[in-house]
Amino acid sequence: MLNLQVFTFNALQENTYVLWDDTKEAVIIDPGCYTKEEQEELKDFIEDQGLIVVKLLNTHAHVDHVLGNAFVKRTYHVPYFLHPLDLPILKSVVVRAPSYRFFNYEEAEPDAWLEEGTNVTFGNTILEVLHVPGHAPGHVAFVNREYNLCIGGDVLFQGSIGRWDFPGCNFDDLISSIKNKLFKLNDEVQVFPGHGPSTTIGREKQYNPYVGANGQYA
């Protein structure tokens, strides 16, 4: 059984995910916990569930998704995985964070790279890595086909798509990632985005005002 817990952290209302299975091994994806209270909320949940955190994963390296990286690495002594094309984005966070009023950001260095065509494993669970650039050059999504689950970061939202006006963004790549990667998944796949509520591939293919059947960029 694959289990998921979502936390909404920091001033940008970012979704942080914890995934675990029956072995109790767990991964933390995009820890946005910034304040001491947010860090304790994440830590208390993991302790209460008796989870064994084994990996830290980032879908991409924008500031709101990496605020808790150093805390997670320090607390659980786990390797941190990022797509190499997002390393410049990660390196820029220390400069950009104060403009978002995150004055106490701590840097964390990746230990391993994510690449499409490889898998992330923990316990008995396999997460397929999809490279879905556009919102960020090294953006990835994590897919578990057995449970029709996708941790999608900031590419596809319920009724919307990711921003393409940040440094390193590319509108054409974003649309291509959605149509040629995410929309190739089963309609039943539930997408858990970096902000806001979850959705399904089928729903967005039909109703998304940007890339759905009658969308602006259909």
Region 178-185: what's the mean pLDDT? Answer: 98
H helix runs in 19-161, sequence order: 36-49, 63-66, 69-76, 87-96
- Cα torsion through 9, 53, 51, 19, rounded to 10: 60
Given pLDDT bands bounded at 50, 70 and 90, which one contains residue 85?
A: very high
pLDDT of residue 47: 98
23-72: per-residue pLDDT in tens?
999 999 999 999 999 999 999 999 999 999 999 999 999 999 999 999 99
pLDDT of residue 137: 98
87-111: per-residue pLDDT in tens?
999 999 999 999 999 999 999 999 9
pLDDT of residue 188: 98
Which tokens belong to 62? 């924008």
Measure the CA–CA gap between 26 and 28, rounded to whole angstroms.
7
pLDDT of residue 120: 98
pLDDT of residue 63: 98
Nearest Cα residue to 139 out of 149, 152, 126: 152
Given pLDDT bands bounded at 50, 70 and 90, which one contains residue 8?
A: very high
Nearest Cα residue to 140 out of 149, 153, 131: 131
* Beta bridge pairs of residue 161: 156
How many Cα atoms occupy the beta-carbon half-sphere of 95 within 13 Å? Answer: 5
Measure the CA–CA gap between 133 and 32, rounded to whole angstroms.
20
pLDDT of residue 133: 98
pLDDT of residue 182: 98
